[in-house]
Structure 1
Amino acid sequence: MKCRKLAYCFLIGSFYFFSNVILSQDQRIADSLVVIYNADTAQGLEKLDLLHALSFNEINNFDVALKYSEELIHLSRQSSNYEYLSYGYFQKGYAKQYSGDLEDALSAYFQSADVAKKEKIVSSEGSAYAAIADIYSISDNFDNAMLYYQRAIKTLRKSPQKREDTVLLATSILNAGDELLIHKVYDSALVYFKESGELFEEVDYTAGKAFNLGNIGMVHAYTGKNDLAENNIHQAIRILEKSENYYPISVYLMAMADIYVEKKEHQTAIDYAQKSLSLAKKYGLIEQLADANEKLAKLYEGVGDQVTSYSHYKDHIAYRDSLLNIEKVQQLANQRTDFEVSQKQVEVELLETQKRNQLIVLGFIGLLLVASLWFYRTISKEKKKSEKLLLNILPEDTAKELKATGAVKAKKYDSVTVLFTDFKGFTRYSEKLLPEALVETISFYFSKFDAIIDKHGLEKIKTIGDAYMCAGGLHDTEEDHAQRMVHAAFEIATFVEETKKDVAASELTFDIRIGINSGPVVAGVVGTKKFAYDIWGDTVNVASRMESMSEPGKINVSNSTFELIKSDFDCDYRGEIEAKNRGKIKMYFVTGAKKEVLAMTNGC
């Protein structure tokens, strides 16, 4: 499981108008303050304090938290109170982030930092830098994340060390350690956690101690010290439950699932992951809905329940796509990075790291040159093997980009056709087979599917259990991808039907459902070690719904695909059908190619 930032710079500047005591986020405080808000008696600075406290503590409904932060921004601007204006932008960023809108969250955090820097509000500036770092962390931009965590820590060390300043500094150090934990730099992560833990103890900050316990527990989990991990994480959960802070509890429950996977207690692992999913559903935690469904998909696949695994995987895709608009976040990150790198301060901060990296790179290049002189023939041979393997995993132009630059930028395609297939009754059948026979059965079908889509110039994206996914229109200039996909679908359906009539293959027969949808997608490479080419977007989600709402042996298409193929294929309109999490969608069964099209094809 990839852990996310659990602790934030929760306090920025002065706190509630009725207290100088530092408190962590607590839903119960928000619930009690609503009475004062609804009475509408607070005015001036008290009203700003009230809105800040409400937006800060409202952690069960981020739409409500956003409303409070927007009102705080409006009133702060009206009264020219820039300190609270910075607070307002920060809380807006927080609400946007946990609602899954990372682009708007990043923009709000930068606005908070800009206002605070201009007004020399050190604690607010440092808090905003830490939150910016967290967005980069979620977007898998390690360099920017660590750059802004270090900037946050450096800024906050300048702040007068009152109790609240110590909390802010400790939280930033904790989150920097968490980023190192994500990238498996465990020893360095523990160094950061040691300092943050000491600071939280120094000021007796309960929530901070909980996060620190939990993160140290996750380090123990990743390094195989399961008993220590379980003890630490349980302590963290007990503390967080008292303040009803459910997001980190959901993450830590996922960590517990990982621990029990290592212990080979798969049902207990599933139970913990289900608890995490239930919390995420109850409180609208989009990120955890995506992660918990992904975890459950893997766990159920591990115990042989392919149907439940596939269901969770499809939900993971839906929530993941709503969480992260890859292209926009990447563009915004790149624009801001270019601006930051142009400043002298950044150059000074990075100089030492750059020198060290240059020495490493030069040493590595020198080693390669020496090795290449000695092992030239072997390396050449292995290179060809690697390139061939890479082309089996990634599309050719994507593989070239990866080899040339070491990374692959996400790309948006305006018109792509996506197909999903699924075997009816596969789970019952698979329960009766040995693993070797099960793999052989899947390979029998999918090898033929691969040949069919290759014939039509389409691209296989992935398989998930007994489900098969492919796409057309990603890397070619032809506009007939929908027609080619439907032709391929008919060939797949025909192959499956003919296999049922083959006596030799009688034990390998199934019915198949096929669904197709067309529209825009974002495509890119997932992972840094085990590369996987994937596509995202609402188009993919609807294609999945088309498959699940299809019938055995039939090809179910959406209205967008119908509009592209109606001149070439006969279709039966099914009406508007209710689809899970989508509402009513127009659907069509494709019955065959039109006669005039067949005549033209035969004439050729």
Structure 2
Amino acid sequence: MLRMLEQYSSNLEDLIKERTDELEIERKKTDKLISQLLPESVARSLKLGNPVEPEHYADSTLYFSDIVGFTTISALSEPIEVVDLLNDLYTLFDAIIATHDVYKVETIGDAYMVASGVPNRNGTRHAAEVSNMSLDILHCIGAFKIKHMPEIKVKIRIGLHSGPVVAGVVGHTMPRYCLFGDTVTQASHLEATGLPYRIHISLRTMKILASLKMGYKMETRPSKVKGAEDTFWLGGRDGFTKPLPIPPDLTGGASNHGISLDEIPPDRRQRFLDRQNKNKMKK
């Protein structure tokens, strides 16, 4: 009976150890998933049951990018093809940002938002980190292919702006780490008013990059609005030798939000035109 009790005790200890190891593996998986959704410091506070207070960041640089003609590409594609496109593209972007001191804030459809200086303060390096990341992304997007439509090139617009932001966690169910302030609005506006294959930066970001003396190549884009600040195109950096895609020659920016019919494969072009005509008849 003693031997049986000893054996039972030994088996019970092995079983407890096995279950403990499994629990630890699952805990690490959960921690990894949470860290991908929220900054590490925020996730730690939430796990401890502590409230996460909003925080002001005096210096940061924000990145916004958008796919040119995404609405048309979606209309030419099946739903699963749209999901595969975005998954492939964002997987590429995620691999790039992992090599820079930046934080991916969120993706909304084809919009991709990244910040530096938030939630980890890094002095004045935030502008350089986001600029270097933008150049790497622009380099990679030049060779990116859509699996179901390799004939169509994916062109993106990029906007950068530096300034203060307020960051905080919004919501209890599916909480989100969000950024607020005029800096967010300005960065989004720079992206929307930019051009394909271009990095559109603000005067403030230009001044920070110039002060770093790292050899950033910037070209003035004169403002068309009287009294408004000029903006700039970021075209490279000393020591950056990766080839960048050549921006299309657009007059007046008329096509900066779409793709031309000539770029669409003939079979999908006809389906696209038929769908447009069908929608017009419904109206």
- Shared fold per TM-score greater than 0.5: yes
Change (3 A) 1:398 1:495: same
CA distance in 1, matches of 2:116, 2:50: 26
Give 2:195's match in structure 1, choosing from 533, 544, 551. Answer: 551
CA distance in 1, matches of 2:95, 2:153: 19
CA distance in 2, matches of 1:431, 1:504: 13
Residue 124 of structure 2 corresponds to residue 479 of structure 1: yes
**CA apart distance, 1:424:** 0.7
1:586-601 paired onto structure 2 within 5 Å: 586-594=230-238
1:439-588 paired onto structure 2 within 5 Å: 439-474=83-118, 475-499=120-144, 506-507=150-151, 509-566=153-210, 567-568=213-214, 569-578=216-225, 584-588=228-232
- 8 Å contact 2:60–2:164 — kept in the other structure? yes
CA distance in 2, matches of 1:414, 1:577: 29
- 8 Å contact 1:441–1:508 — kept in the other structure? no
Residue 68 of structure 2 corresponds to residue 424 of structure 1: yes
- 8 Å contact 1:418–1:469 — kept in the other structure? yes
CA distance in 2, matches of 1:570, 1:407: 44
Change (3 A) 1:397 1:593: same
SS of the equivalent of 1:523 reads strand
- Identify the structure with the greater helix proportion: 1
Change (3 A) 1:425 1:413: same
CA offsets 1:309-360 (integer angstroms, 9 cap, x no match): xxxxxxxxxxxxxxxxxxxxxxxxxxxxxxxxxxxxxxxxxxxxxxxxxxxx
CA distance in 2, matches of 1:507, 1:380: 48
Higher relative contact order (CA 8 A, sep 6+): 2
SS of the equivalent of 1:552 reads coil
- Computing the radius of gyration over CA atoms, which structure comes out larger, 1 or 2? 1
Change (3 A) 1:598 1:429: closer
1:191-230 paired onto structure 2 within 5 Å: none
Match of 1:386 in 2: 30
CA distance in 1, matches of 2:234, 2:66: 17
Change (3 A) 1:428 1:381: same
- The TM-score normalised by the length of structure 1 is 0.34
- 8 Å contact 2:124–2:208 — kept in the other structure? no
RMSD of aligned Cα (Å): 2.7
- Tell me how many residue pairs correspond in the alignment: 221
Change (3 A) 1:503 1:401: closer
- 8 Å contact 2:162–2:202 — kept in the other structure? yes
CA distance in 1, matches of 2:153, 2:90: 13
Match of 1:205 in 2: none
SS of the equivalent of 2:164 reads strand
Which stretches in structure 2 are left out of the alignment for 5+ residues? 1-15, 242-283
**CA apart distance, 1:408:** 1.3
SS of the equivalent of 1:455 reads coil
Give 1:414's match in structure 2, choosing from 58, 68, 75. Answer: 58
Which stretches in structure 1 are left out of the alignment for 5+ residues? 1-371, 600-604
1:9-28 paired onto structure 2 within 5 Å: none
CA distance in 2, matches of 1:387, 1:471: 22
